[in-house]
Structure 1
Amino acid sequence: MTRYAGSRAVVVGQEPGIALAIAKRLVEGGAQVLLTVGGQEERARARTELGSAARLVVLAPSAAPGDRGALAGELGRWGGPGEDGGADLLFAGAVDTARPLLPWVRDGGAVVLTSPVPPDTAAPDTATPDTAVGALASELAGRGIRVNAVAPGCIEAPPAGAVPLPPLGRLGSAEEVARAALFLATDATFTTGARLPVDGGLGRRP
């Protein structure tokens, strides 16, 4: 499958299962992928799942957003920021994780953030952008960069404390979050500033 052939993607600061699911779909689709992992155990798992198809950078979860020298060095192998360098797609855990990497995102590219919805909090209406997502989307609109977010809830394991299953009657998977993130990154070409709940309807409970 070559759905993402010719694309360059950075996956940084995500929950490990979701990050790996995004990277795996990108690699299977022919993209060049740079994935950050939180330690050697995560690195070994990612190498097993992805083989040599993705470049891996160990980045401690406690690292400050600006402390990304190793990541910048790997990005440098794609050339400097600009039309011929950098990445088309950036998948990041939060705005402050994404911001130091924005110079490396090509004009016309896409940023997808991950913003979990607590199980006891109603998800915001998808027509009303989350404040941080909307602000970054407005900031980057002049470069033609779309900014959206996925908001996973009840994914793979019950959260701390028993909560009812979502209306769909089951837990979701990291793969389902990855599909939503990739939809926002590559297919939703006239969408920016949106926050898409991936929670089985949890945030719509009466």
Structure 2
Amino acid sequence: MRKRFEGKTAIVTGASRGIGFAIAERLVAEGARVCITARKREALDEAVKALGGPERAVASAGRSDDVDHQSDTVKRTLEAFGSIDMLVNNTGINPVYGPMVDVDLDAARKIFEVNCLAALSWVQQTYRAWMGEHGGTVVNVSSVAGVKPAPGIGFYGASKAMLTYITQELAVELGPGVRVNAVAPAVVKTKFATALYEGKEEQVASAYPLKRLGMPEDIGGVTAFLLSEDAGWLTGQLIVVDGGLTLTGGV
């Protein structure tokens, strides 16, 4: 595999498993060092081992929307590896399901804080600590639910639509030194998305032109491309990674 990220360091949030881990794994395979975050220390420790140990990866446990956790993670990453060249905002939550008109407003606020404000704050922290002076790349993990209405997960979709706008605004403001892009997956086979396909995977996949659900590695590969110099003339873009689902009118 090409070593596109030799000598570079990334922070990947929500990376103890699923899409975040697959992104971190791909970056390490291409030469990067990573700091991964999640809430549970034990899961992070296992992920660090799987990524090659402390020479390739370090972990920072905490809530993604906790500013003190963000600041500590940035400091820890710089102490361990000396730079923060890449940031992947992968952490996202969706604790509610049902019509938006019935959504619990406290839950909606939490979704907004984690999916939108926390992502913005991570960019602020890394920009002030490293990228503002040295440059860098950012990828935000959005969702096809933010591209068009998604009944049942409407407020989650609204938060991801806002994340896409934040991506575009930051791309305009931070260029040329920092590129900011986003990926929008459809259903990917992770613990986070289990309720969307468990017990009915074949039925769900039948709506996709490629006739399968996504795998975390599918998102890892596209994210690595956006972070690399192969995407050096791309910024402010949302890359839909959905097996063709949105072409059929689905979400």
Which bracket does the TM-score occupy, shorter chain normalised?
Answer: 0.7 to 0.9
Q: Which amino acid aligns with 2:175?
A: A
CA offsets per residue over residues 145-179 of structure 1, 9 Å max, x none?
11000111110156535673222110111111010
Matches within 5 A, 1:57-76: 57-61=60-64, 63-65=65-67, 67-76=69-78
Paired position in structure 2 for 1:3: 4
Identity %: 34
User: What are the residue-to-residue correspondences of 1:99-138 with 2, within 5 Å?
Assistant: 99-103=124-128, 104-105=130-131, 107-118=134-145, 121=148, 130-138=164-172
Please identify which structure carries the higher helix content: 2
Question: How many residues are aligned here?
Answer: 194
Paired residues of 2:39 and 2:61 also in contact (CA < 8 A) = yes
The alignment partner of 2:66 has SS state of coil
SS at match of 2:148: coil
After superposition, residues 49-88 of structure 1 pair within 5 angstroms as 49-52=50-53, 53-61=56-64, 63-65=65-67, 67-77=69-79, 86-88=83-85
Contact 1:122 1:202 in 2 (8 A): no
Aligned residue number for residue 82 of structure 1 = none
Identify unmatched segments of 5+ residues in structure 1. 80-84, 124-128
What is the root-mean-square deviation of aligned Cα atoms in Å? 2.8
1:122–1:204 contact (8 Å) kept in structure 2: no
> What is the DSSP-based 3-state SS (H/G/I as helix, E as strand, rest coil) of the residue aligned with 1:183?
helix
2:214 aligned residue: 172
Q: TM-score, normalised by structure 1?
A: 0.80
Cα separation, partners in 2 of 1:116 and 1:48, compared to 1, 3 Å: same
Runs of 4+ in 1 over 6 A off after TM superposition: none
1:12 Cα deviation from its structure 2 partner: 1.9
SS of the residue corresponding to residue 90 of structure 1 reads: strand
Higher strand share: 1
What's the TM-score, normalizing by structure 2? 0.67
Does structure 2 conserve the Cα–Cα contact (< 8 Å) formed by 1:156 and 1:173?
A: yes
Partner of 2:115: none
